[in-house]
Structure 1
Amino acid sequence: AYMAYAHELLEVPLDQGIPQIMLKTSCEYVRSAKWGETLELSARITRLGTKSFDLEYLITLADDANTVIARGASTHVAY
């Protein structure tokens, strides 16, 4: 999900690389997803530095955005 978001945000074609390293990731599972449930993932930038940035992720049920499945975060460094 992060790579799709990064390519769309930076307008870089999917067949090209993005010069960055994922430095740190975390995920907190809040609730189990059940077979057949449709999930929705959202991502947003929470910090933008000169060479690094942080993202926050939220996975919810597609038909109920108040039902959180998991929360995540990642830190990336550009080179």
Structure 2
Amino acid sequence: MMRRRIGERGLKIIKICSRGNQREKSREKAMKKQKEADKKKGSNEKGANRGLTLEERRHRDAEIMRQKQEKKVADGQGEMKK
């Protein structure tokens, strides 16, 4: 931040340092803390798994894989690669 000051000898520019990088450092610290908290969460608390039990997640994932396999076979790409 720059301030102009008119004195006896004319215009002087005085540089004033505000908070420096304290705000930036605080943001980094908060982000790091949030990442650590996210790592500690169980898989049933994350994203699309929120509120689902292990059995429900397995069933959902198996159904998705079946649909993918059916689509692959329907497209003619279901053959094994050699």
Instruction: Give the alignment's TM-score, normalised by structure 1.
Output: 0.20
The structure in which a higher percent of residues are strand is 1
Instruction: Give the alignment's TM-score, normalised by structure 2.
Output: 0.20
The structure in which a higher percent of residues are helix is 2
Higher CA-based Rg? 2
